[in-house]
Each structure stands twice: as C-alpha cells, then as structure tokens.
Chains A and B, each alone.
Chain A
Amino acid sequence: AQKVTQAQTEISVVEKEDVTLDCVYETRDTTYYLFWYKQPPSGELVFLIRRNSFDEQNEISGRYSWNFQKSTSSFNFTITASQVVDSAVYFCALSEPNNNAGNMLTFGGGTRLMVKP
C-alpha cells in the first residue's frame, strides 16, 4: 500500500531564509506520480508540481525547486528566499495510476510553514 510521510509538522523561518520541506514515500509500483500542493489559510489546495517516477531530473520554478531521489524515496521541496506569502500548509502526495481508483492521491500529513517578517 502507498504511504507518504512528512516528518516536519511545523517549520518557522524568518523572511529571506531558505527552507526545505521533506517528503518520503512508499509504493510497490514502478510507475507513480508525486505531487506538491499548497494550502493557504483560505483552505483551497493549490497544485504546485507533478513529477513521474521515470523523471528524476530536479526542477526549478522561480524560488521553488524540487529534488526527487528514487534511491531514498524522497521528493523534497525547497523554497529559496522565503516570503511571508509562502506561509501555508504544504502537502506532498502520491498517485499510482494502475489502481482502480483512477488517479486518487495519497497525501502526507502536511507541513505548516510559517514565514515571519
């Protein structure tokens, strides 16, 4: 069965600091997808990135970067030069397309990031 673990329940940083959110996953499938979502105080989950299991190339999007390492089953998320607007709960999620439930997502418990001015 699939599982996603986000060991950091809460992180507090001061604006402009870099911060890395950890994500470790478990799956028996060779084909799977990993996601990061942001949940601001308004509550709506906002899609950030999707990565498939065959693409281990790291990705950078502005201040955001993602480090996917199959050898350690990790998909970590780094925010460079954090800003107050980055304050939110961040969820890592896993999808196994070969199961019956379509592309259902298995979420980690989330990491609450607080960026102080």
Chain B
Amino acid sequence: GAGVSQSPRYKVAKRGQDVALRCDPISGHVSLFWYQQALGQGPEFLTYFQNEAQLDKSGLPSDRFFAERPEGSVSTLKIQRTQQEDSAVYLCASSLTGPFSYEQYFGPGTRLTVT
C-alpha cells in the first residue's frame, strides 16, 4: 500500500517568503506528526494531530509556523516570512493510535532551503 507522501520534496524560498508543505498520511492513520530535522541532527517534534484536532503544538519554534489538518487526513505545515534558520528537512509521520505506542511511518521529507 501507499506510504506517507510529502510534497514538494525540495523547496527553495527567499527570505521573507511564505511556504506551504503538504503531507498525505497512510490511509486510516489517526495520528499525524510533523518533525524538523536540521542538518546533521535528529528530528525534533513540532506538532501532533489526532484526526483533525491539533493536540500539541509545543514544538513549533515561533508563531510564524502554523499547521492544519482540516479533514483529518492531509496536513499542511505553513511557514510565514521564512528565515534562514528555517532551513531544514521537514518530516511528516503517521501512525495508528490506541493504548500502545505504535511505530510511526515517515514520509521522505521536504528539504527547505531559505536563501
């Protein structure tokens, strides 16, 4: 079956531009996560959705970052007025939910470069 897909795979933005990154999770996966991975580092949590509800956004680095999942499937991560420090790979992951901590399935990521 299809895995998690993300688009675009690569995005170059000039400083100050707005960008939108899309994530299509695995069908039927209730939980959706966004992570930010800076070069040479491990992914860091940004935000979490359960269906359409954004239950945690404590990892979003500033109010320029905004995420939504209006119908409980596709999610969009938006970054307004991009800065150079936003350059990173943005990873989306989805998983089943329940009493156990199921593994998360990751997409290929979107590599954002802010010039």
Q: Complex formed: what's the CA distance from A110 to B41 in Å?
A: 7
Is the beta-carbon distance between A104 and B42 smaller than 8 angstroms?
A: no
Q: Complex formed: what's the CA distance from A103 to B13 in Å?
A: 31
Q: Complex formed: what's the CA distance from A43 to B107 in Å?
A: 9
Q: Complex formed: what's the CA distance from A97 to B98 in Å?
A: 10
Size class of the contact patch on chain A: 20 to 34
Q: Which residue of B lies closest to A99 (CB)?
A: B56
- Whether B71 sits at the interface, judged by CB under 8 Å, is no
Q: Which residue of B lies closest to A94 (CB)?
A: B101
Task: Give the contacting residue for A101; candidates B41, B42, B55, B102; CB below 8 A.
Answer: B55
Q: Complex formed: what's the CA distance from A4 to B41 in Å?
A: 12
Q: Complex formed: what's the CA distance from A18 to B11 in Å?
A: 39
Is the beta-carbon distance between B108 and A105 smaller than 8 angstroms?
A: no
- Whether A61 sits at the interface, judged by CB under 8 Å, is no
Known: A33-B101, A45-B91, A52-B101. A100 touches B43 (CB 8 A): no
- Whether B95 sits at the interface, judged by CB under 8 Å, is yes
- Whether B25 sits at the interface, judged by CB under 8 Å, is no
Residues of A within 8 A of B65 (CB): none
A to B CB contacts below 8 Å, 28 in the list: A37-B106, A42-B108, A43-B89, A44-B109, A45-B91, A45-B106, A47-B103, A47-B104, A50-B101, A50-B103, A52-B100, A97-B100, A100-B55, A100-B56, A101-B48, A102-B33, A102-B56, A102-B97, A103-B95, A103-B97, A103-B101, A104-B48, A104-B56, A105-B43, A105-B104, A107-B43, A110-B40, A110-B41
Chain A positions near chain B (C-beta within 8 angstroms):
4, 6, 33, 35, 37, 42-47, 50, 52, 91, 93, 95, 97, 100-110
